Amino acid sequence: MKKVRFNIKIKSLKWQLLFRFLMILIVLLGTMGIFQYISMKDYLYKTKAQVLHERFHSLDFSCVSKENIKDITESDSQEILKNLWDKSMSVALIDKNGDLLSERSNADIPTENNDWDSDTKEPTELKINAIPVPVLSKEHYISICNKEGNLDSTYEIVKDENNNYQMIAWLKVGDLNSPWGLIQLSTPIDDITNILDRQEYVHISLSIIILIMGTILGITIFNRALKPLYNITDIVEGIGITELDKRLIEESGQLEINRLAKSFNIMLTRIQESFEKEQNIKEKMRRFVSDASHELRTPLTSIHGFVEVLLRGAAKNKEQLDLALNSILMESERLTKLVNDLLILTRLDQKPIVEIKYENINELIQEIEPQLQILCSNRTLQLELKDNIKAIINRDQIKQVIFNLTQNAVLHTDKDNGVITISTDVKRLNNKEFAVLKIKDNGTGIPEKDIAKIYDRFFRSESHRSRVHGGYGLGLSIVKSIIDSNGGEIQVESEVNVGTIFTIYMRGK
């Protein structure tokens, strides 16, 4: 369990940000420490080298400037060593061949001063850290002699025979361009090492304190910065099916969090719309199944009832037999039409690929005019067709649309005084040309409250549910699906007891 929690923390955005922040801080502190160490080391070395070169100014240059180092007498040599020597330094004279001529260090103090310790009976130099004279190779000394200039800024750090580091500076003897030897002055650099060690210790200590403070401040800052994100997480996790209308606050003071909240709100809106659409589809399907079952039950019940009558002996009576058989035939025809309409709607729901062509609407109407006349019976059928009305349509499907709308008009108009008008025209809307087909009647009309529902399957207004008007409420659903699949648009205008006009817009050229 602890391992799982640790893994979760490692994967947490807060801890990843904190880790990266600390890594950057460590790199910056390390870089700053290295730069500071190198800068201070270089400064201290140059300062100490300058001190060594300053001591050369105390020399008697009349001795140093002699043409040959061998011309310098023993007394001159001792004078030079005495003037340059210090308890913290060692001095040596080297000829141009790299040979050591004389030297002086703090190891020579007791011998010269006869200073003995009364308790130990040993020379005092044993109590003083001896600073031996560092001796370089002859080749090294020769290369230094051959360098140009007076060696004012030249120094080296070398290890002496005690493995301690010393700084060495030189002064040329004789002519600068062709010296006869060198004076070497050296001193330990323990003081510089101590300063650098202290500086390094202080820097490391301060870095640790800064990292601890950075961790505390980082956790505080990241917790505050990520609080809006945590709030979004809590709200989103709490949203259920019944709470899809909840929305996140889009103004948190952070641009990225605002964009995230806005994206979540857009997503929630789409989910809500999809869910409502799905619920609507489910409700329509439930009503569809319920209405279909009801509509199928009615003719089946009638057929079953007439068959029972025949089985009970009505078949022996010719009149009752004819009545029953005619009723069974009529109900079976109604049942067949209902099933065919349902199959048509099912195919249209699957959005099949419809073959459409550039067709003449007038020719299509004139082709089915005889069937329309029979369908209208005693009603008046008027055709008002303008010349050469063409549209991009599926010919057979538009025929079915005309039949369905005409049949709908027949069902709602008076059988003797009914007038049904089919007209065509051309209109230009939004710089596009449309072929217009209108089917108008003078029937009972559609109540305003029902106009939005007339394309729903099995829908019939309360005033039209009697068997006198017939139908199952599928005709207009089929019409709407066909028009949509042909890329057209259908509109309806109606007034109760005045009539109804269906207007279909189909794509022209």
Sequence-ordered list of residues with C-beta below 8 angstroms from that of 420, at least 6 positions apart, any chain: 376, 379, 380, 381, 382, 406, 409, 410, 413, 439, 440, 441
Residue 60: per-residue pLDDT: 58
- The percent of residues in the chain predicted with pLDDT above 90, rounded, is 19
CB atoms within 10 A of CB 348: 18
Look up tokens 């580091």; give the residue: 165
pLDDT of 206 reads: 93
Mean pLDDT of the chain: 79
pLDDT of 82-95, one tens digit each? 667 677 788 888 88
Please state which CATH class domain 356-507 belongs to.
Answer: alpha beta
Q: State residue 125's pLDDT score.
A: 43
- Cβ atoms of 183 and 91 within 8 Å: the answer is yes
pLDDT digits 0-9 by tens, 93-151: 888 888 888 887 766 554 444 444 545 545 544 445 667 888 888 899 888 888 887 78
Class of 59-188 in CATH: alpha beta
pLDDT at 419: 94
Average pLDDT over residues 48-70: 67
Domain boundaries, the chain: 59-188, 356-507
* pLDDT, tens digit, 9 for 90 and up, residues 151-203: 888 889 998 888 889 999 988 887 777 788 888 888 898 889 999 999 999 99
- Structure confidence at residue 112 (pLDDT): 43
Which of the residue ranges 228-242, 254-268, 276-290 has the most confident prediction, judged by mean pLDDT? 254-268
C-alpha 453: how far from its chain's center? 44
Is the pLDDT confidence value at 464 over 70? no
Buried b (16+ CB within 10 A) or exposed e, 68-100: ebeebeeeebeebbeebbeeebbbbbbbbebee
Rounded CA gap, 183 and 169, in Å? 8
pLDDT digits 0-9 by tens, 430-444: 788 899 999 999 988
Mean pLDDT of 374-389: 90
Mean pLDDT value of segment 321-329:
78
Task: Calculate Rg over the CA atoms of the chain.
Answer: 56
